[in-house]
Structure 1
């Protein structure tokens, strides 16, 4: 079990154990006439103990009149998975979960007088950028001075959206603001696969289910284009509304600037997009001059301190379960992010069994995947409700197909306006490598007990009879999916079919059609969880993170490559997929099986 701050609740016992191991080994070495190695191990134990106490167990106090320094660079993943030792050995990275916690704490923290947000080539999806934008706006509205400093060569539209949440925006004099409008790109590989001798057989339920199109077509189908054009209009609206509210930028003017695309720092200032040109050091000096003190505190240090104080209280608990990545049925690989029919379902079950938890918030960011895995997690949500625990879903960038399946049974669903969701449908894909293998001189022969014994082999295509039989099975999965949508969302069969058929929707459109209950971020989901749990307004609560993480000294962890947090493709801002999802998604697509999967979209 993990606390909200993202560190291990059991870390004290684990690190004390490590210190003890070092100490015992040092003592053994000293007793066996190995003084040098023994002394090294003993000193290592002392160093680890001192560092653990200084940086983890007892974080430094926050002085009054502090300036909080927040640096955002590269991707903003949903969460940063770390052990207690990470802060000693790697540069601090901030996830969306940590941003929420720290900024919401700063709002009511009288010790913090200003926040400087240093933006250095940030990559984020629209839903993530919009949530950070709102967090900064709320911080400024509480009376804190919030200054965003963009130091990259070419700040993007998403980076600017984040910056516009601040009360002041500073841009480097030589930077170029890139405000390209919303675009969606989808690669199409049919011809390339054909040249390689690869054929892809697909079945889909129904016409809008475009997850396989990238492998079987040269362009978008009319149905997929219809879906995506509606989505980009809604996403454009999210951007324009946010800029109008934050920068008093009229919609028509915002469209003109996005059409122009590229603005120098001077042009951005003259257009009212930024307040001034300058440098991060200038802002630091300015705050030192105007303030009563010269105290700077890093965001990571601030998080550790407020989390330390937060955990000392005894408050009603709300469990938080993270569902990030493609959906699989079995156990996920180590150091990876998946929604798993085994581990994620068990996290929900553990949260539901704990009598101290009053409700569960299930945060979902997933394009879908395994039909079986999705169903297992859906069942875990139902079992939690049967135990009397309300389940509130908070959707991130995407909660489509299997990502929607695991959400649809919740008591309430909260989506970002820019969330991509829906995609209620089923797809099946199978590779036929017979021509490629033949060209390479590879031949297959089989001994089998049934005519279709080799139907899933890569060495041949499936017959029409086999495809027809398989299509019937897919239809059963589709009907099961839509029946559960109708049950969970209280829709008629006709209403469900209208919003299903594999079509993707924005959060805005999904709310209009009854697929989600409210528009908002994670904080709104927590508010609903409090209401459902009967926690009185104004009464403090504690968020407790449940995660099926590998043990600190797991052999699987030691032998597995370090996981790099998901990054969002910085191409034209729209529907990026985290790049570390792509191999898993391609594996799901090509291994054969019924999938609840959203279209592959890059943007």
Structure 2
């Protein structure tokens, strides 16, 4: 049993600094005593400089008022992990990270220096699962005795924004903010007619009937099977919203159901129907907490994180590795911009974490619609090898972890999903474009010299023959069989049970839990708790989450998810297709290149 006192000495920066400064002062005093003035003054000067540097660079920035009000602004993209290259961090220092939000809310809930939290909410980019997690974080802070106030300050606030706001004890809305309570709807874009008009033929294969990703290219409307799965998702999402909002706002389920589909309503209507508490402005809240307008009590998220890290990150603790995988999965050359999962890089991160003797367990955070089959398999293999080294791997799913996003998780020791997570989609699609007719209209013709009739089968100059498609379909079916076999092995299901939940069908986190595809419903904290248990970390021992990231260079913009680095044409295409703009470059590249894909449709509220 380790001595807690020696553990604190081992980690304390103050103690280490004190030892160094004391040595410098002793050297300086000895130098002065023996007449070595230059040595003595230099040593003492260095000691004083170190103390001053530590105070101004570390201690002072971490200080906050004893009656601080933490102000968190939710606007724009809310990403899993915003840390990129150093230059990218400088350019995007205002970006919100879900990791940072978790840390801030968890810390503030038990921080005696924080008396209230104000959350300003405008239009933000995140799915329903992320909104639900932030809602729970706010309610937990409120349960910890903090006053939590949500301010809706955008031109409009949809159900995602309102779901977050309802986690606060008080909701204030700008008088001109419109609430768009439009219920739940989802769907997809169907391009067959447009492709026909352009004389582009899309040849697609899908395993199996629920695999809807290929329908975007090959159908005019969704198939009955895909409609069935979408209707189930919509029903689950509506159930989640009704239960959460009814509980938070003390409404009956019937009233909550009515209000989430009330339509376009004013702040006044929202007050009258108890959706919000009052109309107001941020200035009203500032005046309430700071009547003399000194503004010293208000602190932002970045400043509070420095304070929390300075005060909480002490002592020798058990280390749990955190690996993020967010975006479409790619195996080869990555897109120049946007967010993606490199199969090679992510496997390397898991490998490094598993080889670190200090790491007791790995939490693998997945937020991905899938993509490359090979890239997904590389990550799956890395998870299994980590387990072979004695490191438990627990997956935490974000807004979506489907198809390849489920493949990478299937072999983990445990899987945790949010109730609204889109997961499953255990299936395979193939797509190939025939541009021959379009190019012929433009006067472009092809001529090949072939060793065999099939040699130009992958050319965009012609369509595949029925025989070629049949052969390819058999190969795609083999990949589907491999996928379902790995799901059966990882989830301890029989082949028949795995097939019943596969067929390309997407499930909500709630439905996936009922069918054995996930173990628990919850967020990252639930996954961490399971990882602690699997790693046999004592309940009274603290842990630290250490993020393992791919190595980046100063001027490396690859993988940046800043919208400014994504061309407006791609952002427009992303909005049309209903996918996050930061995922658009990789998603569009996957669709254009075609081939075998483990891809699930990304559906939004």
Q: Normalized against structure 2, the TM-score is what?
A: 0.86
- Cα deviation, 1:369-403, whole Å, max 9, x if unaligned, reads 11111111000000000000000000000000000
* C-alpha deviation, 1:532, in angstroms: 1.0
- Cα deviation, 1:462-512, whole Å, max 9, x if unaligned, reads 011111111111111011111111110011111111100111111111000
Contact 1:247 1:272 in 2 (8 A): yes
Which residue does 2:272 correspond to in 1? 270
Matches for 1:192-271 after TM superposition, within 5 Å:
192-271=194-273
Matches for 1:87-102 after TM superposition, within 5 Å:
92-102=94-104
d(CA) in 1 for partners of 2:579 and 2:60?
Answer: 39
* C-alpha deviation, 1:455, in angstroms: 0.4
- Cα deviation, 1:43-82, whole Å, max 9, x if unaligned, reads xxxxxxx999956797331221111111111221222124
> Alignment partner of 1:74: what SS?
strand
Which residue does 1:597 correspond to in 2? 599
Where in structure 1 are there 5+ consecutive unaligned residues? Answer: 1-49
* C-alpha deviation, 1:430, in angstroms: 0.3
Contact 1:335 1:562 in 2 (8 A): no
Which residue does 1:343 correspond to in 2? 345
Contact 2:150 2:172 in 1 (8 A): yes
Contact 2:335 2:586 in 1 (8 A): no
Which residue does 1:404 correspond to in 2? 406
- Cα deviation, 1:490-540, whole Å, max 9, x if unaligned, reads 111111111001111111110000000000001110111111111122421
* C-alpha deviation, 1:578, in angstroms: 1.0
The count of aligned residue pairs is 550
d(CA) in 1 for partners of 2:448 and 2:417?
Answer: 51
d(CA) in 1 for partners of 2:165 and 2:299?
Answer: 20
Which residue does 1:5 correspond to in 2? none
d(CA) in 2 for partners of 1:180 and 1:227?
Answer: 21
Matches for 1:116-155 after TM superposition, within 5 Å:
116-155=118-157
- Cα deviation, 1:175-233, whole Å, max 9, x if unaligned, reads 22111101003111111111111000011111111111011111010000000000010
- Cα deviation, 1:282-319, whole Å, max 9, x if unaligned, reads 11111225999951111111112322444453211000
Greater CA drift, 369-378 or 80-89: 80-89
> Alignment partner of 1:76: what SS?
strand
Cα pair distance change 1:177/1:588, threshold 3 Å? same
Greater CA drift, 500-509 or 59-68: 59-68
Matches for 1:481-496 after TM superposition, within 5 Å:
481-496=483-498
> Alignment partner of 1:69: what SS?
strand
Match of 2:542 among 540, 543, 549: 540
Contact 1:214 1:600 in 2 (8 A): no
Match of 2:467 among 443, 465, 475: 465
Match of 2:426 among 419, 424, 427: 424
Which residue does 1:164 correspond to in 2? 166
Matches for 1:224-373 after TM superposition, within 5 Å:
224-289=226-291, 295-330=297-332, 332-333=334-335, 336-373=338-375
Which residue does 1:10 correspond to in 2? none
Contact 1:59 1:308 in 2 (8 A): no
Asked which structure has the greater CA Rg, the reply is: 2
RMSD over aligned Cα atoms: 2.9
> Alignment partner of 1:148: what SS?
strand
State whether structure 2 residue 440 is matched by structure 1 residue 438.
yes
Cα pair distance change 1:598/1:281, threshold 3 Å? same
d(CA) in 1 for partners of 2:292 and 2:271?
Answer: 23
Contact 2:84 2:552 in 1 (8 A): no
* C-alpha deviation, 1:562, in angstroms: 6.3
d(CA) in 2 for partners of 1:335 and 1:267?
Answer: 43
* C-alpha deviation, 1:245, in angstroms: 1.3
> Alignment partner of 1:303: what SS?
helix
> Alignment partner of 1:515: what SS?
coil
Which residue does 2:478 correspond to in 1? 476
Contact 1:123 1:570 in 2 (8 A): no
Match of 1:114 among 113, 116, 122: 116
* C-alpha deviation, 1:86, in angstroms: 6.4
d(CA) in 2 for partners of 1:520 and 1:588?
Answer: 31
> Alignment partner of 2:584: what SS?
helix
Which residue does 1:46 correspond to in 2? none
Where in structure 2 are there 5+ consecutive unaligned residues? Answer: 1-51
Contact 2:77 2:96 in 1 (8 A): no
Cα pair distance change 1:309/1:234, threshold 3 Å? same
* C-alpha deviation, 1:269, in angstroms: 0.5
Which residue does 2:20 correspond to in 1? none
> Alignment partner of 1:495: what SS?
helix
Which residue does 1:187 correspond to in 2? 189
d(CA) in 1 for partners of 2:556 and 2:157?
Answer: 40
